[in-house]
């Protein structure tokens, strides 16, 4: 199973926009899934599960809400289904804005 994330694309060194940095209402497209050192050994499993749920390069996402403390977790809509993810998971998703005005 190909679950590996390219080593160059670790979230600590990436300068691209990440899902956890998006504002409410932002519509974005997934660019890549990054490594998240906080998840340790199971990071690949988290990447795989994210992909299985539809967070794949090219997928359109919409940020629909945040929790109270530290704007955590996030609610995101992907392919018409809504998911709650924490900032640590959202930071794994590198994205680009579809409509720059909506930010």
Partner 1 sequence: MSTSLRFALVGNPNCGKTSLFNRLTGARAKVANYPGVTVERRIGHLGGLARPAELLDLPGTYSLIVTSPDEQVARDVILGNMKGEASPDALVAVVDATNLRLGLRLVLELKELNRPLILALNQVDAARKQGITIDVAGLSQALGIPIVETVAVHSHGADALLKALADFAADQAQAEVVRTPVEHQTVEASYHQIESLMSQFVVRPDASLSWQDRLDNIIMHPVLGLVILFSILLVIFQAVFAWAAPVMDLIDAGTTALAEGAEGVLPEGVLQDFIVNGLIAGVGGVVVFLPQIVILFFFILILEDSGYLTRAAFLLDRPMRGIGLSGRSFIPLLSSFACAVPGIMATRTIQDPLERMIAIMVAPLMTCSARLPVYALIIAAFIPEQTVWGIFNLQGLTLFGLYMAGIISASLVAWMMRRRQTREEYPLLLELPTYRWPMAYHVLLGLRERTWIFLRRVGTIILALSIVLWFLASYPAAPEGATHAAIEYSFAGRLGIWMQPLFAPLGFTWEMCIALIPAMAAREVAVSALATVYAVGGESADAALGYAIGNSWGLPVALAYLAWFVYAPQCIATIAVVRRETNSRAATTFFTVYLFALAYFAAWATYQIAMLWY
Q: Which x/- pattern, by CB under 8 A, does the window 53-92 give for partner 1?
A: xx-xx------xxxxxxxxxx-x---xxxxxxxx-xx---
Distances (CA, A) of 22 to 7, 18, 76, 78, 85: 24, 7, 11, 15, 13
Cβ distance to partner 1 smaller for residue 17 or 83: 83
Bridge partners of 66? Answer: 74
Chain positions contacting partner 1, by CB under 8 A: 1-2, 36, 38-40, 42, 45-46, 48-54, 56-57, 64-73, 75, 79-86, 88-89
């Amino acid at each position: 199973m190909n679950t590996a994330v390219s080593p160059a694309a670790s979230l600590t060194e990436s300068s691209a926009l990440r899902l956890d940095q998006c504002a409410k209402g932002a519509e974005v497209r997934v660019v890549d899934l990054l490594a998240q050192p906080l998840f340790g050994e199971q990071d690949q499993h988290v990447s795989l599960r994210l992909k299985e749920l539809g967070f794949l390069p090219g997928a359109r996402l919409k940020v629909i809400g945040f929790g109270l403390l530290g704007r955590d977790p996030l609610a995101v809509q992907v392919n018409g289904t809504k998911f709650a993810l924490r900032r640590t998971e959202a930071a794994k998703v590198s994205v680009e804005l579809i409509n720059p005005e909506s930010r």
